[in-house]
Structure 1
Amino acid sequence: MKAMVATRKGLFEMIHIDGKWELDQISFLGEPLSMCLHDKRDGAVYAALNLGHFGVKLHRRDEGRDDWTEIAVPAYPEHAKTDDDVEWKLKVIWSMETGGGDEPGVLWAGTLPGGLFRSPDRGNSWELVRSLWDREERKEWMGGGYDTPGIHSICVNPRNSQHILLGISCGGAWKTEDGGKNWGLSASGMHAAYMPPDLADKQNIQDPHLIARSKFASHVLWCQHHNGIWRSEDDAASWQQLHLPEGIPDFGFAVAAHPRNPDIAWFVPAVADQKRVPLHGSMSVTRTRDGGKTFESLRNGLPQQDCYDLVYRHGLAVSENGKNLLMASTTGNLWASENEGEDWYQISANLPPIYAVKFY
């Protein structure tokens, strides 16, 4: 078992040997990565870099090789600014996902400022999905944690690669059932308490922090929203808010769905809005095992005092067996669990700030 850790100062790859995680190799040391991706269809690995003045770069490492190849990056077409306040310029690759097993070479990339891109050829070329970008509703989207809106969740249905759900901060959830030719809003039931009451239920201004799909039951989805936790059992046609016990915050960014049991999911709670730290400086993971009817707080092995780590959207991952989890923080802490989150141990406390973790 291996994992990738995308940080502000490089890509750190870990390997699981004899029941523990060890550092395997480092790539792009000193350079900030916004996302990484493993394509299990052909074994390729992708690394998205955000080099500031030098712009966004994208690299691919083919299976069995040690060297990386720089490939194309998504590029917005030239635009004569009219009534669009958003600059048509790539700022960050915030999410990446592979197409289905019946689409070899197809990749998807979600970006700031809110554009979705598709590559038919393993990242050698990209095209903006204009059917979404040109929607009139996009002009209502707004930034969440960033100044501009962004696509952070790309949920490809494992049973039908033409069915894709996106999570956008702040632009709600959008779904296509024809591979991106047509799109519709799919955030019914979500509630934005940060908006005036007459706008709070509007689908197009919702702020889902992350959406995760059950691989076993693809119609089941989980959402960590700015205002709580939601679940859908009808492929995002409707969403139901879940209610946590007193003392467990329902604010956070990360969510991981069990790959084999649609009733199990994990979240990382934090104090909302300006503070964004663990409640009372005590690190925990929230888990449900009954589809959101009840929740429990998992703490064994995690620091329980003077801990102020924040886990970003892509900082929590679960392996294909559903037992191994990795959790990474903006403070450079990396924790692992071998038993579905019951117990945790620290792999490292000295990594750079971590943006994403991925099993492969």
Structure 2
Amino acid sequence: MTSNGAQPNSLDDQPQDQPITTLLAVGTKKGLWLGTSIDRSNFTFTGPHFLMQEIPSIGIDTRGGKTRIMVGLRSEHWGPTVAHSDDFGATWQEPDHGAITFPADTAAALERVWQIQPDSADQPGVVWAGCEPISVWKSTDGGEHFELNRGLWDHPHRPEWGAGFGGAAAHTVLPSANDPGTIHVAMSTGGVYRSTDDGETWEARNKGITAYFMPDPLPEFGQCVHKIARDPNSSGTLYAQNHHGVYRTDDNADTWNSIADGLPTDFGFTILTHPSRSGTAWVVPIKADGERIPPEGQMAVHRTDDGGATWKRLADGLMEPDYNVVLRDAAAVDNAEPAGIYFGTRGGSVYASANEGEHFVEVLTHLPDVLCVRAAAVEL
């Protein structure tokens, strides 16, 4: 399957005889599509892989000069697991007894794998997973087998964590490359939790993030944080898209401050940060929790280049009108320069921008609901 964008964009500094290949992975309600491109506008896709299985999470691991694609699968017949491919989807492997299995003493069963996150380059083989029921898991063999993080599972707050509209999800796991041992997790509902000892102990870190639907709108925990993202150069600076509210912290999540001024609405699901430049982040605003459509039915991405002080609306190339939304993991940024931005909608359209959102091309259309999008520069 090949898609042709109307306005190709090339990497400005890349010599023609040394093209960068971008891998774009799109997980949907009914399968996985994998695409490659040298200009990030014209993609050749294969798929669907895992037809009729839900793909809520994807991880692309390019450490060590190799590419491993990991996907969280959910089959109505066989249940959830993690599969991986080392040959760009030509073949797939998964453990006979499941990559993620709750210990017997937990009396729990895996419902969904919401997040697959490779650790930093100096932690080869380490991959993190966030799951439903709310739990965090660690693999040391490249995502083939995972072990439950007991520190978070046994946390005294866990009985009071709730389920967001999509389920009880530990949907974000952010290990820090610049501060070894520091990990941030976000969950719906529960909020943000931080560990500074590689997951042994965890503390709620939600000061300043609101939960207007609770008796105390500023509780210690219980917020429905939709997504968090880390600054590429400062482990203490993170951004959050909340269930109403967009925030930034500069003190490792001890306190959060609103940066929603200048946005058409503070509701949304996803947030992205630049792979190498501090202060740059992207959100996709949604009108409200009761009206889950883009403002005025006009899809747009908004970018800040100054840490949230100001925002720029980006909609060139996007369909108008569009009443679909972008879910929390249905957006991604690649590691090229300028950065590429990608997102998919619940209406089955996937868009790509090779210039940080200034112009988008539709690279896939008429897919099932898009649940997860990931992109990376790879060596074929």
| Cα deviation digits, residues 88-145 of structure 1 (max 9, x gap) | 2110000111123232211111001101111122233222111111111111111112
The answer on whether the counterparts of 1:168 and 1:208 sit within 8 Å (CA) in structure 2 is yes
Match of 2:249 in 1: 232
The answer on whether the counterparts of 1:2 and 1:13 sit within 8 Å (CA) in structure 2 is yes
**Displacement of 1:65:** 7.6
Asked if residue 162 in structure 1 is aligned to residue 162 in structure 2, the reply is no
Asked if residue 310 in structure 1 is aligned to residue 325 in structure 2, the reply is yes
Of all paired residues, the percent bearing the same amino acid is: 31
Q: What SS is found at the alignment partner of 1:276?
A: coil
Q: Which runs of 5+ in 1 are unaligned?
A: 81-86
Match of 2:116 in 1: 96
- Residue identity in the other structure for 1:234: D
- Residue identity in the other structure for 1:160: D
Cα distance in 2 for residues equivalent to 1:124 and 1:298: 39
**Displacement of 1:300:** 1.5
Asked if residue 30 in structure 1 is aligned to residue 17 in structure 2, the reply is no
Q: What SS is found at the alignment partner of 1:280?
A: helix
Match of 2:104 in 1: 78
The answer on whether the counterparts of 1:220 and 1:262 sit within 8 Å (CA) in structure 2 is no
Cα distance in 2 for residues equivalent to 1:28 and 1:127: 25
More relative contact order, 1 or 2 (CA 8 Å, 6+ apart):
2
Match of 2:340 in 1: 324
Match for 2:370 among 346, 354, 358? 354
Q: What SS is found at the alignment partner of 1:191?
A: coil
The answer on whether the counterparts of 1:102 and 1:161 sit within 8 Å (CA) in structure 2 is no
The answer on whether the counterparts of 1:334 and 1:346 sit within 8 Å (CA) in structure 2 is yes
Q: Structure 1 residues 66, 243: CA separation in 2 closer, same or farther (over 3 Å shift)?
A: closer
Match for 2:261 among 212, 235, 244? 244
The answer on whether the counterparts of 2:126 and 2:138 sit within 8 Å (CA) in structure 1 is yes
Match of 2:301 in 1: 285
**Displacement of 1:63:** 4.8
Match of 2:202 in 1: 183
In the TM superposition, 1:6-21 aligns within 5 A as: 6-18=27-39, 20-21=41-42
Q: Structure 1 residues 23, 64: CA separation in 2 closer, same or farther (over 3 Å shift)?
A: closer
Match of 2:11 in 1: none
Q: Structure 1 residues 215, 63: CA separation in 2 closer, same or farther (over 3 Å shift)?
A: farther
The answer on whether the counterparts of 2:82 and 2:144 sit within 8 Å (CA) in structure 1 is no
Cα distance in 2 for residues equivalent to 1:356 and 1:312: 8
**Displacement of 1:244:** 2.3
**Displacement of 1:243:** 2.9
The answer on whether the counterparts of 2:283 and 2:301 sit within 8 Å (CA) in structure 1 is yes
Q: How many residues align?
A: 349
Q: What SS is found at the alignment partner of 2:352?
A: strand
Cα distance in 2 for residues equivalent to 1:290 and 1:123: 36
Match of 2:4 in 1: none
Match of 1:217 in 2: 234
**Displacement of 1:77:** 2.0
Match of 2:157 in 1: 137
- Residue identity in the other structure for 1:287: R
Q: Structure 1 residues 162, 145: CA separation in 2 closer, same or farther (over 3 Å shift)?
A: same
Match of 2:90 in 1: 66
- Residue identity in the other structure for 2:103: P
- Residue identity in the other structure for 2:101: A
- Residue identity in the other structure for 2:161: W
**Displacement of 1:53:** 3.3
- What do you get for the CA RMSD once the two structures are aligned? 1.8
Q: What SS is found at the alignment partner of 2:124?
A: coil
Match of 2:310 in 1: 294
- Residue identity in the other structure for 1:45: I
The answer on whether the counterparts of 2:181 and 2:199 sit within 8 Å (CA) in structure 1 is yes
Cα distance in 1 for residues equivalent to 2:39 and 2:228: 33
**Displacement of 1:64:** 7.2
> Which range moved further: 261-270 or 210-219?
210-219
**Displacement of 1:231:** 0.4
Match of 2:270 in 1: 254
Asked if residue 4 in structure 1 is aligned to residue 25 in structure 2, the reply is yes
Q: Structure 1 residues 344, 60: CA separation in 2 closer, same or farther (over 3 Å shift)?
A: same
Cα distance in 2 for residues equivalent to 1:53 and 1:320: 36
- Residue identity in the other structure for 1:37: G
Q: Structure 1 residues 65, 250: CA separation in 2 closer, same or farther (over 3 Å shift)?
A: closer
The answer on whether the counterparts of 1:56 and 1:73 sit within 8 Å (CA) in structure 2 is no
> Which range moved further: 314-323 or 132-141?
314-323
| Cα deviation digits, residues 283-338 of structure 1 (max 9, x gap) | 11111111111112212111232x11110001111111252111111110111112
Q: Structure 1 residues 125, 348: CA separation in 2 closer, same or farther (over 3 Å shift)?
A: closer
The answer on whether the counterparts of 1:190 and 1:203 sit within 8 Å (CA) in structure 2 is no
Q: Which runs of 5+ in 2 are unaligned?
A: 1-21
TM-score (norm 2): 0.87
